[in-house]
Amino acid sequence: MADPGPSRLTVVSVTVPDGLAPGDAFDVTTTWGHTYAAVVPAAAAAGDTVSIEIPATEDADEQLLAAVFSQLSDADLMWKIYGFGREHAHMVSGRGRTGAADFDPVTEYSLATHEAHSKFCAMLEAVLEQHIATLGLSLDEFVAVVARRGGAQEGTDGERLLKAVESLTNFDVFCDLMKSIDFQHTPAEPP
């Protein structure tokens, strides 16, 4: 049985550069920085908008995951987290979890803290979904990349990205983050 080659990662729309004719090669650079050698389709001419399939290669997948991973420490995301904290930190009382005394094992947390955490996770999810969309991928295409890069299998690129996202949505990390935002010395808007 013949090898079908790499599966499709995504499809991008590009304009055929001036001076090219059907069968001519040209480079297509994705929004996440991957360069792919494309060929002008048979019925296309310079100036036409064409759809080019970007194959799912190890290099393309790695560059895409790196672009999504970089979003997790992006300054815009940090400002959104600060903004969220400014608006919702009052819902994170004390340590977030309640016990009879500071030294007691933590057994539960307030409903308001849980509500703030749920809103925070929804905000992070929306930011990541928007970032993935700006990279030109559907969520299904992105999930396929994570799966190809090992998914949740330990030591893989996919697992590292999933753990980074999980660490941001961890309840205790969330409570510590909300308590650590210094509202007295943090500007309300980015400089």
Q: Half-sphere exposure (CA, 13 Å, Cβ side) for 46? A: 6
> Range with the lowest mean pLDDT among 21-25, 68-72, 113-117, 184-188?
184-188
CA–CA distance, 84 with 142 (Å, rounded to integer): 26
Residue 102 has pLDDT above 70, yes or no: no
CA–CA distance, 134 with 154 (Å, rounded to integer): 28
Contact residues for 106 (Cβ-Cβ < 8 A; gap 6+): 95, 97, 98, 99
pLDDT at 2: 46
Return the CA Rg of the chain.
22
Average pLDDT, the chain: 84
| Domains observed in the chain | 8-56 (no CATH), 61-180 (1.20.1520.10)
pLDDT at 73: 81
Burial class (CB in 10 A: 0-12, 13-18, 19+), 130: exposed
pLDDT at 5: 56
- SS3 of 32-67: the string is CCCEEEEECCCCCCCCCEEEEEEECCHHHHHHHHHH
CA–CA distance, 185 with 121 (Å, rounded to integer): 25
pTM: 0.75
Contact residues for 2 (Cβ-Cβ < 8 A; gap 6+): none
> Range with the lowest mean pLDDT among 46-50, 127-131, 182-186?
182-186
Residue 174 has pLDDT above 70, yes or no: yes
Contact 82, 158 (CB under 8 A): no
